[in-house]
Amino acid sequence: MFKLSKKLNSLPPYLFLEIDKAKRKARSEGRDIIDFGIGDPDQPTPKHIIEALHQAAQEPSNHRYALDQGMPSLRRAIEGWYKRRFGINFNPDTEILPLIGSKEGIAHFPLAFLNNGDYSLVPDPCYPPYKGGTILAGGRPYLMPLRESNAFLPDLKKIPLSVRKKARLIYINYPNNPTGATAGKDFYREVIKFARRNKIIVISDLAYSEMSYDGYRPSSLLEIEGAREVAIEFHSLSKTYNMTGWRIGWACGNEKLVAALAKVKSNIDSGIFSAIQVAGVAAIEGPQEHIVSMRNIYQKRRDVLVLGLKSLGWQLDLPSATFYIWIKIPFKMSSIKFAALLLDKANIVVTPGVGFGKYGEGYIRMALTVPQERIAEAVQRLRKIL
């Protein structure tokens, strides 16, 4: 009776929902699951942010429709953060747009610029909304393979001229989900040069900029000369402040790109709950000590997991950013079958690499959102079954 649209039918099942189903089933059977699947911080939101929300939620003025462009105080806080962190100046009225989490902005952005049949240049493997947003806007994802042999960077020189002529967008995500790879300013310069030459918009996803280790400090694409002419960058409070469920992030960069996304959103949503925006200001402008603590926690977990897996003979490196470990499967087996094996035999949940794209096949992703002692236990379980 009801026929789904071609666009919806062309979307793959959302990876994390499928993982969650398998995980819930295993737990309903009473099994002791160690969950490395979804990248959702297990640490609480800092107390001063929660208190700011509590106070703001009691103000009747915050119970009404929010401004679509976000509170001026939040936009100014974001402006200050970018200036402190990257030395970049923005006009908070025209170059910054708060979002209901960066995911929705990333997914909605193609609606502003893609016509039917236009290409988005999408890294593969990648965060699923890059492809999903392109498809729902009527565009076509052109996959740029991220290969270990090229440090998980796309090779822009291999994109055919016929594709470049029809491409409107290119997605860049470093530090990278799912591979944990990082990119330097030389790569960003190459991307900006490529985009300007081919009249392509750059979408930079910088969600993991504050999750780095061993003294490494990621850069912003917008630090590069000329980037403001062609780029928009997305950021989120989710990972930096353990606020995944709060749904608050932003887009910033070229004012025409920001304005186009704002026009899309004005026809779709009515802004972020104002009390959450007040809490966002408290997060950005308040005490930042927990970020250092967060990095220390994840770095210790990273070391325990990577060294543990190496002791099993697995080949992998220590990532210098994100809380993901991207692991080549140590023997010939599909990533879905290997993930199923680990759940069935060891009660360990991991994400199969193919869920992030066809070039993720042969890998699994493990998120460091598990206490250190449970990571050590997971390594022992793997030692027994493998």
Interatomic CA distance for residues 83 and 88, integer angstroms: 5
Q: Give the alpha-carbon dihedral of 177, 348, 299, 224, to 10 degrees.
A: 0
Least confident of 11-15, 117-121, 340-344: 11-15
Report, as an integer, the average pLDDT of 89-114: 97
As a residue count, the chain comes to 386
Q: So what's the pLDDT on residue 126?
A: 97
pTM of the model: 0.95
Q: So what's the pLDDT on residue 181?
A: 98
Question: Quick check: helix, strand or coil at residue 287?
Answer: coil
The percent of residues above 90 in pLDDT, for the chain, comes to 90
User: Burial letters for 305-340: b for 16+ Cβ neighbours within 10 Å, e otherwise?
Assistant: bbebbeeeeeebeebbbbbbbbbebeeeeebeebbe
Report, as an integer, the average pLDDT of 302-324: 96
Single out the residue of 353, 360, 348 nearest to residue 309, CA to CA: 348
- Whole-number Cα distances in Å, 44 to 54, 105, 238, 246, 321: 15, 25, 11, 12, 20
Residue range 6-44+289-385, CATH number = 3.90.1150.10
Report, as an integer, the average pLDDT of 26-54: 93
- Round to the nearest angstrom and report the end-to-end CA distance of the chain: 49
Omega into 110 within 30° of 0, i.e. cis?
no
Q: So what's the pLDDT on residue 15?
A: 67
Reading the block at residue 320, the tokens are 């210098």
Question: For all residues of the chain together, what is the average pLDDT?
Answer: 95
Least confident of 10-14, 197-201, 324-328, 360-364: 10-14
How do the domains of the chain map onto residue ranges?
A: 6-44+289-385, 47-285
Report, as an integer, the average pLDDT of 90-112: 97
Is residue 1's pLDDT more than 80?
no
The percent of residues above 70 in pLDDT, for the chain, comes to 99
Interatomic CA distance for residues 281 and 189, integer angstroms: 32
Is residue 224's pLDDT more than 70?
yes
Amino acid identity, residue 18?
Answer: E
CATH classification of 47-285, choosing from 3.40.640.10, 3.30.420.130, 3.90.1300.10, 3.40.30.10?
A: 3.40.640.10
